[in-house]
Amino acid sequence: MPVASSVAAVLLGVSLTAATGLATPLLEIQDPALVESSGLAVSAVHDEVLWTHADGGRAAEVRAVGATGETVAVITLAGIDPYDPEALAPGVDEAGQPALFLGDVGDNLEQRPDVSIFRFTEPDELADSTLEATWFRFTYPDGPHDAEALLVHPRTGRMLIATKDAGGGGLYRAPLDPVTAADGSNRLVRIADVPLLVTDGAYLPDGRFALRTYGSVFVYDRPGHQIATATLPLQPQGESLAVDGDRLLVGSEGPQSAVYAVPLPGPVRGASTTPTRAAEPREQREQLGRASSDGTDDESTLRTAYRIVRVVAILVLLAAVVAYLRRSRRR
């Protein structure tokens, strides 16, 4: 292994240890159909249940995961052939009952004429079933965008989409009372900038909201006004975010991926509602056993470690490019 790669591997281990010191393992997702778990939502109806879904797929499916990480129900949305589902948000239906919003908003090639959001009422019983969903279509005012974050306001029900862009994306607001797909498409309005590479987002009960990237979370009290930020646990591909009282739940793609509970940065309001009974991820047990109870030092160490890892990763990439160019010249 080259020296630069060895240094990167060591620093990656330091970063991993520091990151997990700030997090509590909640569960490991066991379902092989969820190796690309994307969206995440805390059930408003069932205790110890999280809702998630697979990235993409030929069917619109949302899966209920219990406290041990096992899938306890699969909900299929009737008559829907999705393009690229990437997000899941809690909210309410037209009758005020708890509902889930599946965001079919992925567009890696940025070529879709519109994106879709499917709303369905959260079932009272956990069993495999097929449910009807209300379909909404949306267009961006400035052309197609790739997105992985959908937020639904807990009081007004207004939907927001945060786009995913390496140069920094945008936050787009839907109409307060959008028309369904049968009546046409709804035009989104860009209302703020967001950090680069946003992979998910969620509202807090008090109207604040959080956006996550692969390695960080940002909290806002209104669009465009950030009030707090924190570094997240290092994950294989940090994708999902859900709000549970005064903490955030963060998940990742990958087989048997872990969901962590992390403290909500900034002022704390409300209380947690989801229990923490679950098996610890195997690869994190030793690091968590050595974690400090003082999160201040851990957070500072983690941020420093991430900065070092990013710098080393850039150096490794540059070294690889130089080596490739040298080999090309010799041919």
Q: Residues 224-242: pLDDT tens digits? A: 999 999 999 999 999 999 9
Instruction: Identify which of 92, 61, 65, 53 has the alpha carbon closest to the alpha carbon of residue 78.
Output: 61
Domain spans of the chain, in order of start: 1-22+291-331, 24-279
Does 282 or 221 have the greater pLDDT score? Answer: 221
For residues 72 and 54, give the distance between their C-alpha atoms in angstroms, rounded to a whole number.
15
Instruction: Identify which of 131, 103, 81 has the alpha carbon closest to the alpha carbon of residue 239.
Output: 103
Min mean pLDDT across 70-79, 102-111, 296-305 is at 296-305
Please give the single-letter amino acid code of residue 22.
Answer: L
**Pair 214, 196: CB distance under 8 Å:** no
pLDDT for residue 268: 55
Residue 75, phi-psi category: left (phi > 0), alpha (psi -120 to 50), beta (remainder): beta
Helix (H) or strand (E) holding 72, with range, is: strand 71-77
- Residue in this structure with the two tokens 């201040």, named with its chain if needed: 296
Query: What kind of architecture, by CATH, is found in domain 24-279?
Result: 6 Propeller (2.120)
Question: 70 CB contacts (<8 Å, ≥6 apart)?
Answer: 30, 31
Q: Is the pLDDT of residue 312 over 60?
A: no
For residues 19 and 298, give the distance between their C-alpha atoms in angstroms, rounded to a whole number.
8
pLDDT in tens, 81-132: 999 999 999 999 999 999 999 999 999 999 999 999 999 999 999 999 999 9
Radius of gyration of the chain (CA): 20
> What does the block give as tokens for 62?
């949302």
pTM: 0.77
Helix (H) or strand (E) holding 306, with range, is: helix 295-330
**Pair 152, 176: CB distance under 8 Å:** no
Largest CA distance in the chain: 70
Instruction: Identify which of 235, 194, 233, 190 has the alpha carbon closest to the alpha carbon of residue 211.
Output: 194
